[in-house]
Chains A and B, each alone.
Chain A
Amino acid sequence: MKENDTKTLTEWLYLESDGELTEAQVSELDREASGSPEFAATRNEMARLHEMLESSRIDVLPDFQSRVMASLPPAGWSGRHPRTWWAAAAVLALLGGAAALLSGLSAAQLQPASPFVAAIAAVGDMLASSLEAGAGLIGASWQGIRLAVGEWLGGSIPNVIAFGVVVVGVNLLLVRRLRRRPRPEAASSGSKSRSVE
């Protein structure tokens, strides 16, 4: 090591306590310290500083981990995990299979020549009927609401104004609620970490 490398050696002193030096670099420091009491004293001070900082750490409360675990809320991602929907999917598949089987059996009695095709057709008919019934129900509901509102308003100006006020009020409440919603910090931090790290 040359004389003009004193600065490097001083920097190494600061890195030594972090374990950032190679064995060769540590040996270089040993050699320098053995020849210079001043350097050895500085090295000793650095070691003490490191020790002071390390020993001033506080202890974590003994129940901290259990406290954290007990306070974990249901996370958004847990709802998207397969374990939350596989049971429902399995039940649906089971019911569908049973329906197909039963329909197939009944169709087979009528048309024993093509039971599989009859089963598929029966399931298709069943689904079509369900869709039709659902659409009918929705249509009827809206029709009912439309009739009820129309009857209530009945051309009465105060009723029309009251209705308008209610609609505007509900919209304002919705807007206010949306504005008050807390910013999802964790989510944004997570995204940030991905983009930056």
Chain B
Amino acid sequence: MAAESPTRTDAELVAEALKGRQECFGDLVKRYQGPLVNYLYRMVRHTEEAHDLAQEVFIKIYQALDRYDPQYKFSTWLFRIAQNAAIDRIRKRRIKVVSMDRPSDDGDDGVWEFPSGDPNPYRDSRNRERGGAIQQAIDGLPWEYRELIVMRHYGELSYEEIAVAKEMPLGTVKNKLFRGRQMLKEVLAEYLTD
């Protein structure tokens, strides 16, 4: 997990925030904004909505900050709330799971890009294509695998954190990630070879 204040743990930042030092909560936001926005982006598939949802999650966390138990990881608490928020949002929007052989009609789908500083039209086009392929491959995974893949690669959670957040044994998490990646590897095979 990326750290902005490596000298202070999450629990210490929470404790400081509870004493009225709001900037410490700001440090927590900075620390987790990347993984959280990326996790939510992969779940709701819309940049702006992912940011709005992440903001809502941070506000919920802030309001319940005094109930945080420092013996548990802050990240698992954060992602549990984020997961519930994403599922609620998906239900509300009635997002359909995109199948592997059908292009999506959602606004953001299919325009996933890899960052590129090189103004090479071929490469840009290739990146765009790869971005779309990744999203389609992730969307095509069964929910139980998709969720864990997104938590691991976009939420940047460790196996242990995922196990706690999902209330699963560590072995099950490893196994599901293994299976999920195998499926991804098969679907994305053409992008993985030379």
- Would you call A189 and B84 a contact (CB within 8 A)? yes
Asked whether A190 and B26 contact (CB < 8 A) given A18-B159, A81-B20, the answer is no
- Would you call B192 and A45 a contact (CB within 8 A)? yes
From residue A120, how far is it (CB to closest CB) to chain B in Å? 37
**Stretch binding the partner chain, chosen from A31-39, A46-54, A102-110, A125-133:** A46-54
A22: Cβ under 8 A from any B Cβ: no
A64: Cβ under 8 A from any B Cβ: yes
A20 to B160, CA, bound (A): 11
- Would you call A190 and B67 a contact (CB within 8 A)? yes
Chain B residues, Cβ within 8 Å of A177? none
Main secondary structure of the interface of B (DSSP, over half): helix
- Would you call A72 and B164 a contact (CB within 8 A)? no
Asked whether A55 and B72 contact (CB < 8 A) given A14-B178, A48-B192, A190-B77, the answer is no
Asked whether A197 and B77 contact (CB < 8 A) given A45-B193, A48-B191, the answer is yes
A68: Cβ under 8 A from any B Cβ: yes
Number of residues on chain B facing chain A (CB within 8 A):
63
Main secondary structure of the interface of A (DSSP, over half): helix
Candidates B26, B58, B154; contact of A57 at CB < 8 Å: B154
A191: Cβ under 8 A from any B Cβ: yes
A57 to B26, CA, bound (A): 22
**Which chain A residue has the least Cβ–Cβ distance from B150?**
A53
Q: Give the contacts of A54-94 with B (CB-CB under 8 A).
A: 54-61, 64-65, 67-69, 71-73, 75-78, 80-81, 83
Chain A residues, Cβ within 8 Å of B81? 186, 189, 193
Q: Give the contacts of B41-69 with A (CB-CB under 8 A).
A: 41, 47, 50-51, 54-55, 58-69
Candidates B76, B114, B115, B191; contact of A197 at CB < 8 Å: B76
Asked whether A49 and B19 contact (CB < 8 A) given A72-B25, A186-B64, A187-B67, the answer is no
Asked whether A186 and B192 contact (CB < 8 A) given A11-B178, A14-B178, A60-B51, the answer is no
- Would you call B62 and A75 a contact (CB within 8 A)? yes
Q: Mark B144-173, 1 if CB is under 8 A from A, else 0.
A: 000001001110000100001001000000
Candidates B18, B26, B134; contact of A65 at CB < 8 Å: B26
- Would you call A72 and B30 a contact (CB within 8 A)? no
- Would you call A186 and B60 a contact (CB within 8 A)? yes
A167: Cβ under 8 A from any B Cβ: no
A185: Cβ under 8 A from any B Cβ: yes
A24: Cβ under 8 A from any B Cβ: no
- Would you call A60 and B178 a contact (CB within 8 A)? no
Candidates A18, A52, A73, A189; contact of B80 at CB < 8 Å: A189
B29: Cβ under 8 A from any A Cβ: yes
A71 to B63, CA, bound (A): 12
- Would you call B185 and A45 a contact (CB within 8 A)? yes
A194: Cβ under 8 A from any B Cβ: yes
A76 to B26, CA, bound (A): 18
User: Which of B20, B34, B149, B192: most chain A CB closer than 10 A?
Assistant: B192
Contact surface of A with B, Cβ cutoff 8 Å: 11, 14-15, 18, 20, 41, 44-46, 48-50, 52-61, 64-65, 67-69, 71-73, 75-78, 80-81, 83, 185-187, 189-194, 196-197
Contact surface of B with A, Cβ cutoff 8 Å: 18-20, 22, 25-26, 29-30, 33-34, 37-38, 41, 47, 50-51, 54-55, 58-69, 72-73, 76-77, 80-81, 84, 112, 114-115, 130-131, 134-135, 149, 152-154, 159, 164, 167, 174, 177-178, 181-182, 184-185, 188-189, 191-193
